[in-house]
Amino acid sequence: MIFSINSDTLPAGSNVIELGCAEGVQLVDIARMHEIKATGVEVSPEMVDAARSTIYAQGMSGRIEVVEADMLTYPANQQYEGVIATSLLHWIIPHGEQEISKLFDKF
């Protein structure tokens, strides 16, 4: 995958969150390329297990955390400098614009 993230606006050490992180592959790639810390939120227990395995296998356990949660109810207890949501396109239509707006306002 190719990611276009401006390192000036997201410097090393920044915290980002990925909503719907699936197996965690994208999260690992972005965290490694940009030297950031990351939290992945995923509702599927199987995907959470897969993401944690991916993160461990890539030696990124110290910089990436994955939580099993619904992104709409996940409490944003910290500030994030970036939100990754590339896997949400299939989710947007059934939930509508207002739900999406509320979701991104949280972070």
Tell me how far CA of residue 48 lies from CA of 44, 65, 102, 106, in angstroms: 6, 10, 24, 22
Position 55 scores a pLDDT of 97
pLDDT score at 107: 65
**Section 5-11 average pLDDT:** 66
Q: What is the pLDDT of residues 27-77, one digit of tens each?
A: 999 898 888 999 999 999 999 999 999 999 999 999 999 999 988 888 878
Say what the alpha-carbon torsion angle 45, 70, 83, 58 is, to the nearest 10 degrees.
-10
pLDDT at 104 over 80: no
